[in-house]
Amino acid sequence: MIYSPKVLKHFKNPHNQGVIKNADAIGQEGNPTCGDVMRIYLKVGEKKSGKAKTAKSEPFIKEIKFETLGCAAAIAVSSAMTDLAKGKTFKEAMRLTKDKIVKDLGGLPPVKVHCSMLGLDALHQAIKNYELKKR
């Protein structure tokens, strides 16, 4: 299987790998067929948007880390996805797509594209878990 140089770079030196103690939210997804499991940890901040008098507070991803048990593509996707999500508001992070992640990595073999969905699904789950806790 041939991987792009960027996939190999993220695999060999993953960004944002690890655990956030006392995380504000955690999301986890796995694929029983291939055995990949991804866990996403979030620390959440609040950004003010709009004019001073009408400014609304909006949650954003202040810090993000991941733990992934899986193949090179799964680790690279987790690393790239966390880079893309860091600093984004929840709305922006929810708009990330597998195509954006695959493009950012310089492509993935077609049989490995499903790995990108696990990372996004875990991120979306973490965001939803945070929102449920705040209700």
User: Which residues are part of the catalytic machinery?
Assistant: 34, 115
Q: Do 41 and 31 touch, CB atoms closer than 8 A?
A: no
* DSSP tag of 39: E
Q: Do 74 and 118 touch, CB atoms closer than 8 A?
A: yes
List b or e across 9-40, with b for residues whose CB sees 16 or more CB atoms inside 10 angstroms.
Answer: bbbeebbbeeebeebbbbbbbbbeebebbbbb
